[in-house]
Amino acid sequence: MSSVLIRNVRIFDGETLLAGERWVRIEGDRIAAMGEGAPTASHADRVIDGAGRTLMPGMVEAHAHLTWGSSVEKIYHQFILPEDELKVAAWRNARILLDHGFTSAYSAGALVDGIEVELARAIKAGDTPGPRLVPSTLERSPEGAEGVETGDVFNGRGAEAIRKFVAYCKEQGIGSLKLVVSGEDALKPGSAGDVLYTEEEMEAAGEAAREAGLWIATHAYYPEAIALALKAGARIIYHASYADEAAADAMIAARDTTFYAPSPGVSIAALEATPPPHIDMSHMKKSAAERMELETKLVPALKARGMRILIGGDYGFPFNPNGRNARDLQIFVDHFGYTPAEALKAATALGGELMDLEIGRVKQGWLADLLLVDGDPTQDVSILQDKNRIAMIMKGGALYKAPAEVAV
């Protein structure tokens, strides 16, 4: 088993910055030992001198859209891409997330069926670089409320159609299915208040997903949609901007099993965007301003009551490209009253809990998904937006990016 010793580092362990100079020893894919001061036994296959930098867990993107093509390396002005180009974009986006310190990603839905399962397998096999990925399939939104019971897997109404969808997802090999419970203003202005599923359908989704061992991710804005998401036992609720007191209470009651990711990245980016004249973002901007105002009150209130709130901001639009994902941490600090350490915990320890893996903490026995950061992110999380400040990226004990100075 290969071993790596990382010495002369400060450690943010997923919760707090540990005092003093530290070291960590990795054997195989796990953290075998860690300690203070100089390491007692310094032999290892590889020794990395951290030079006083900060060692922290790899970050977790809780709302990933790898098939939304745009990234910091390439902007696409059309949302739907030809299938071969889409695959190139998704593979590239996975690599870009890892380049920026995201060693895990939970998919919030794909634009094409099947692609994320293939990508997750390729990453796992080491055929292509990327984060540990909980793959999803097409985001499911049924036909209009008056829709007929078509039984169609992706759009059909009724409990039976939902059960078929879950069975289909299971067969495809996905990890989490995505249900669009609320309408989306960005796609259809004024539709955020629409509720796209019935109680019966959501109950069926919850039951079938539990039986199949799949997770459910939900797009939900208003109390009724949040209640339905909770009814289905959603693992994660996105947005929830218009939650009232009762909806907040219901989320808190489910806080041991349900996570929350407000996804402010896309709202802030929409507010800042200066689109060309032929693209009208005025409605999107108005809705983003309204949601940010509400979330500025909602998120701190839920956090104070113990809700596990995660970063992840719908990256992948031309105005909000993949690769900027760490911006969410700064937004949590600037708009939601988080300390830098709390934002880091949301991106690491809590993200690890979402993934249900022993990741997100620098802890003996846990998987070695680690970053070596130039500077102290517990004072300033904005440094994580600069990939050049991430000197080392390790996933499962394997060095994806190694610092320049390696002592032997």
Per-residue x/- marks for Zn ion, 260-299, CB under 5 A?
----------------------------------------
Alpha-carbon distances, residue 275 vs 286, 290, 319, 336 (angstroms): 14, 20, 8, 27
Instruction: Please identify, using beta-carbon distances, which residue of 224 and 314 lies nearer to Zn ion.
Output: 314
Query: Which of 183-191, 314-322, 365-373, 386-394 is the region at the interface with Zn ion (rule: CB under 5 A)?
Result: 314-322
- CB contact at 8 A, 46 and 403: no
Is 314 near Zn ion (CB under 5 A)?
A: yes
Least Cβ distance, residue 70 to Zn ion (angstroms): 14
Determine the Cα–Cα distance for residues 165 and 177; give it in Å rounded to an integer: 9
- Interface segment toward Zn ion; rule CB under 5 A; list 53-61, 254-262, 301-309, 313-321: 313-321
Among 29-37, 307-315, 361-369, 370-378, which window interacts with Zn ion (CB under 5 A)? 307-315
| CB 65 to Zn ion: min, Å | 6
User: Can residue 236 be called a binding residue for Zn ion (CB under 5 A)?
Assistant: no
Smaller CB separation from Zn ion, 239 or 303: 239
Classify burial at 356, counting beta carbons within 10 Å of its beta carbon; exposed 0-12, middle 13-18, buried 19 or more.
Answer: exposed
Cβ pair 193, 183 in contact under 8 A:
yes
∠ Cα 114 115 118 (to 5°): 90
Q: Taking Cα atoms as reference points, which of 283, 253, 263, 162 lies closest to residue 220?
A: 263
185 binds Zn ion (CB under 5 A): no
User: For Zn ion, which is the closer residue by CB, 22 or 235?
Assistant: 235
List the Cα angle 180/183/189 in 5-degree steps.
145
Smallest gap from residue 238 Cβ to Zn ion (A): 6
User: How many residues bind Zn ion, per CB under 5 A?
Assistant: 2
Looking at the Cβ atoms of 108 and 111, the one nearer to Zn ion is 108
**Quick check: 105 and 133 in contact, CB under 8 A?**
yes
Q: Which of residues 102-121 bind Zn ion (CB under 5 A)?
A: 108
Per DSSP, the three-state class of 307 is coil
Pick 220 or 381: Cβ nearer Zn ion: 220
Residues that bind Zn ion (CB under 5 A): 108, 314
